[in-house]
Amino acid sequence: MKLYCLSGHPTLPCNVLKFKSTTIMLDCGLDTTSALHFLPLPLVHSPRLSKLPGWVSKDGTINLEKELKECAGRVFVDSLPEFCLPERELLDLSTIDVILISNYHCMMALPYITEHTGFTGTVYATEPTLQIGRLLMEELVNFMERVPKAQSATCWKNKEIQRMLPGPLKEAVEVWTWRKCYSMQEVNSALSKVQLVGYSQKVELFGAVQVTPLSSGYSLGSSNWIIQSHHEKVSYVSGSSLLTTHPQPMDQSSLKNSDVLILTGLTQIPTANPDGMLGEFCSNLAMTIRAGGNVLVPCYSSGVIYDLLECLYQFIDSANLGTTPFYFISPVANSSLEFSQIFAEWLCQNKQSKVYLPEPPFPHAELIQTNKLKHYPSIHGDFSNEFRQPCVVFTGHPSLRFGDVVHFMELWGRSSLNTIIFTEPDFSYLDALAPYQPLAMKCVYCPIDTRLNFHQVSKLLKEVQPLHVVCPEQYTQPPPSQAHRSDLMLELQPPPMPYRRCSVLGLPFRRRYERIQLLPELAKSLVPTEIKPGISVATVSAVLQSKDNKHVLQPAPKPAPAPPSKKRKRVVEEPPELLAPKPLLSGAVPLEPFLATLNKHGITEVKVEDTADGHILHLQAEDTLIQLEEDGTHIVCDSNEPLRTALRDLVLRFLQKL
């Protein structure tokens, strides 16, 4: 069993498991942090960005003025943002049989895998994962396609040139593998390969293994996966949460008795408590609005935004924000808000029960009805007519490199009355703000990540007790910024097996057993013999048929009778005779009774020597050796066949024949 790691990002995983002749890809996350090296894509012409000076090396030998621009001491690529793909050279991706998706954030690289590698398999995901994943992909494509760039930068990717660039561009990894965003046509084609599954639904893969999704408690439809054969079990735990938020709670009990547990997608900010961050978010928002400023929240169009809106729903009236407009701007804003209301069976019990009242499970429905929350596909059209300040705007993308958020950064960045509140933990907020410096607006970092922290995961692993744990190497040491915090890492016995991008791990358990079926007519012919009280054994002679990873024992074919022939043949062709199998012997030869039996038969001069596995009996007068061992008995007797036969028969008296 082997595990290939194709992504170095622990919360955007992409691994391939080879297990029992099946090749299974576990998630295909897209690392969008590479976009932070690019200049933002403004929706309307930005005089500030267009006037940024080009970059030339100090000695003047490298001139990349057209490709690289300088802003506040940092260098950015002036081109459409590109993304860091999962590794494609480590193994032939066309051999992948199935892709298992754990949540909608971990499927964003799907079109790169299914459309450009010769992949012909099936993708398995739950319905909310598919539908919200489609929205996020659609939004990404929309952000890229509505602001096309005339030129694309390629020279800076040259290894020799990249080495001469200033940091952090110099440290960017594998830039030659970065790719531009896919098209909507590729998205549709990739998603047409998805087959929908429900929690606890068992899916057979070629009769070899069975895969089952379990609720992971992190987002709508998010799953952990069990991959098992008759005798082995692998659990894949990715992006799970034990907090009581809107999704169904995590199914922990089904993870028990795993031979291997592959663990990924833990919280990115183990020191921040989500509840505390929500409180801070609300108080900073209220403070800015009261002072007459605007609040900008760069966020994804699904996920944490539902919790933010729910928190604000309870907070608005107590903070006297009843008249403040809340805007949610995204090409998929409407679909996202509606989807969250219709996936009732994927919600926690408390929200499910509201559906039968009938009431909308999320309070943002009421915010929309009372006109407190308004949603728009973009800043053009209706929004520009109805827009009034001070207000709160939720919009993407959290990287601040593309989407409507770029426009608000340019619009509000120069006033210290305004505040930007970062809630998504995927991007470093300082790197996200770098191309907008110098910036007057206030910046608040309230990252909300509900995924498991190290304390929760240690408790979980103690309960489910897997034999081996495999995880990204980042989890086996404290974060670089807090090297003294040994509580911010996984400490287990035996220690977890770490992996990094491009590593191949041999997983530490061997397949020992295979299940075989007996056909009824063969079972009827067996004659069991009792070898110990309560234990009976029967020998079987049969033909083993293996097909579709299923093994069946069938009765051995009987030789066909020879057809009567009129012509005389010189040689009579007889069918080969099926010989009766020799009996199997079981038991052990006890030393003292055996010596007594030899004595009875006139063999008296016996010298006994103990060995590691048993005894050697030297029959001195007969010049013969008898080796009595656990798994066999040897009689060494030169050219005295009658004596050898007699000794053999004496040994057989003590053994049982099957």
DSSP characters for 124-179? Answer: EE-HHHHHHHHHHHHHHHHHHHTS--S----GGGSHHHHHHSPTTTTT---GGG-B
Q: How far apart are CA 552 and CA 247, in angstroms?
A: 44
User: Residue 390 and residue 393: Cα distance in Å, rounded?
Assistant: 10
pLDDT for 655: 83
CB pairs under 8 A, 24+ apart, for 276-280?
277/423, 277/446, 277/447, 277/448, 278/307, 278/308, 278/311, 278/446, 278/448, 280/444, 280/446
Please compute Rg for the chain using Cα positions.
Answer: 35
Say what the pLDDT of residue 565 is. 60
Residue 570 pLDDT: 56
Return the structure tokens found at 127.
């319905």
- pLDDT of res. 21: 85
pLDDT computed for residue 634 by the predictor: 87
| Contacts of 508 by beta carbon, 8 Å cutoff, 6+ apart | 260, 468, 497
Report the pLDDT value the prediction gives residue 564, as an integer from 0 to 100.
64
Q: Determine the angle formed by the axes of helices 274-290 and 304-315, rounding to 10 degrees.
A: 60
**Residue 291 corresponds to which amino acid?**
A
Distance, in Å, from the CA atom of 245 to the CA atom of 337, rounded to the nearest integer, reads: 16
Q: What's the pLDDT at 20?
A: 85
Please count the residues of the chain.
658
Q: Are 57 and 68 in contact (CB under 8 A)?
A: no
Burial of 397 from C-beta contacts in 10 A (0-12 / 13-18 / 19+): buried
Task: Give me the pLDDT at residue 102, please.
Answer: 97
Strands (E), 294-343: 295-298, 326-329
Q: Note whether 123 and 114 are within 8 A (CB).
A: yes
Task: State the burial class of residue 55 (Cβ atoms within 10 Å of its Cβ: 0-12, 13-18, 19+).
Answer: buried
Contacts 24+ apart (CB under 8 A), 615-621: 615/591
Please list the residues that pair with 18 across neighbouring strands: 2, 23
Task: Report the chain's mean pLDDT, rounded to a whole number.
Answer: 89
CA-wise closest residue to 188 among 121, 117, 114, 119: 114
- 10-residue mean pLDDT series, the chain (658 residues): 92 94 95 95 89 87 88 92 93 96 97 93 96 96 89 87 87 90 96 97 92 95 95 94 89 94 94 92 94 96 92 87 92 92 88 84 89 92 90 96 95 95 95 94 95 94 94 91 84 90 87 83 84 83 83 81 60 57 78 85 84 84 84 84 86 81
For residues 395 and 409, what is the distance between their CA atoms, to the nearest angstrom?
A: 11
CA 588, chain centre distance (Å): 51
Cα separations in angstroms, 561 against 182, 322, 558: 67, 96, 9
Contacts of 271 (CB under 8 A, 6+ apart): 482, 488
H-run or E-run covering 609? strand 606-610
CA–CA separation, 192 and 189 (whole Å):
5
Tell me the residue type at 621.
Answer: A
The answer to whether the CB of 9 falls within 8 A of the CB of 15 is: no
Buried b (16+ CB within 10 A) or exposed e, 174-188: ebebbeebbeeebbe
Which pLDDT does position 474 carry in this prediction? Answer: 93
| pTM (two decimals) | 0.84
pLDDT value of residue 44: 87
- Label residue 169 left, alpha or beta by phi (over 0 means left) and psi (-120 to 50 means alpha): alpha
